[in-house]
Amino acid sequence: MKVLVLNGPNLNRLGTREPDVYGSTTYADLVELCEAEGRELGMEVEVRQTNHEGEMVEWLHAAADTSTPVVLNGAAWTHYSIAVRDACSQLTAPLVEVHISNIHQREEFRHHSVISAVANGVIAGLGVEGYQLALRWLALKK
């Protein structure tokens, strides 16, 4: 089973961006964590990151067309991008929304996700381990 792990804006800055909020794990560490978890679960995991909304939408369209499950950290787009939300609504395989920090303990504008309503599940506040949990759940859905 192939799974896409898609990350939105600024996640390439993990390890240097607000370590008190996001921890010291680098983006390279996150990629290795997800790929290793995938190998353990017998899944092919491809991890991508973009700071360009249109590119994320294209990736989601491709996942919809191929019935590929998605783990999505939409980052800032989570809170306002109707384009990303609409692309997510077209997915034909499960979608798990993941956030490293607990968005409900942060600034008011982060408390609402436009993506959650079209996701199968949401994991927030468990650090990068949330990605592992999302992959484990998807493995159960095979």
State which amino acid sits at residue 41. L
Here the tokens at position 30 are 């996150």
Exactly one of 27, 61, 99, 104 is catalytic; name it: 99
Residue 99 annotated among the catalytic residues of the structure: yes
Please report the pLDDT score of residue 111 as a whole number. Answer: 74
pLDDT digits (tens, 9 = 90+) for 33-51: 999 999 999 999 999 999 9
* Mean pLDDT rounded to a whole number for the chain: 93
Is-contact 124 98, C-beta < 8 A?
A: yes
110 is in an annotated binding site: yes
pLDDT digits (tens, 9 = 90+) for 71-81: 999 999 999 99
Please give the CATH topology (third level) of the domain spanning 2-140: Rossmann fold (3.40.50)
Domain boundaries, the chain: 2-140
101 is in an annotated binding site: yes
Is-contact 97 119, C-beta < 8 A?
A: yes
Report which listed range, 15-19, 83-87, 111-115, 138-142, is most confident.
83-87
- Distance (Å, rounded) from C-alpha 69 to C-alpha 2? 7
Mean pLDDT of 3-22: 87
Residue 61 annotated among the catalytic residues of the structure: no
Exactly one of 22, 27, 104, 111 is catalytic; name it: 22
100 is in an annotated binding site: yes
Q: What is the pTM of this model?
A: 0.93
Work out the percent of the chain whose per-residue pLDDT is above 90.
82
